[in-house]
A = this chain, B = another copy of it.
Amino acid sequence: MGYNYKIVLQYEGTRYNGWQKQGNTANTIQGKLEQVLERMAGHPVDVHGSGRTDAGVHAMGQVANFHLQKEWEPGQIVSYLNRYLPEDIAILQAERVPERFHSRLQAIEKVYRYQIETGEKRNVFQRRMQYGLGEALDIPMMQKAAGLLCGTHDYRSFCGNPRMKKSTIRTVRAITVNQEPGTSLVIMTFWGDGFLQHMVRILTGTLIEVGQGKRQPRQMPHILEARDRKMAGFTAPAEGLCLIKVEYPCSPGEEIGYFDRF
């Protein structure tokens, strides 16, 4: 199997077809990483991400792992990748990890952020990271509904894949909804053990509809119980979503703080 490496990376998802390699579509984050790693290592490399991010979704602390046939200094890997990857993908950190480490199978928590500009125009410097809704939202109502969507539930109503065969039970530990006083930016943060396809975006879309007065918080338990995608709200656009971090049972030597700079 060789040597197993874990990397933490950031990307601005705007111009990519998402994380996952798809046939000939090279324009994915995974595809870009594998291209550069193969050139570095001189052999094919499979990169395993902690999870797929959709086309247009960003990441501040995505985690991936891959095996190399010979041993490399982690610093060399970071430098090589940063040099040859495009400027909208950056490696923050690399480290040798035990053979058994798998970035997806061992992830215990993921944190996502969704940003909504409720004012008439998105901030020019942050616009690629925000959904430009352009209308005010009732934050207390959204907070109330958000609380009712947390817990361990079957989230099938919030799953974008109608043919999902595996378990759709997930634990959402918390959803916060905040609007800083004096600003028109609404920031939602989601903590959970894992999220189904489009799940954060459908939770966001449903909560936006609560904030618009189109739905009531008390309807949330019924939406969960229905296990029917048609009962939940719209799928909020990808551009507002960002994978903030992925946590593991223990990550020796992991530097804290790279995602706190934003």
**Which residue numbers of A lie inside 8 Å of B, CB to CB?**
10-12, 58, 60, 78-79, 82-83, 87-91, 120-125, 127, 129, 182-183, 257, 261-262
Contacts and interface: CB of A to CB of B under 8 A. Distances in A.
A53 to B, nearest CB: 14
B124 A82 contact: no
B262 A90 contact: no
A100 to B, nearest CB: 30
B82 A121 contact: yes
Given A87-B124, A91-B121, 14 more contacts: A10-B123, A11-B124, A12-B125, A58-B125, A60-B125, A82-B121, A87-B121, A87-B127, A88-B124, A89-B124, A90-B124, A123-B261, A125-B129, A183-B261
Nearest to A255: B182
A165 to B, nearest CB: 35
A145 to B, nearest CB: 27
A82 B183 contact: no
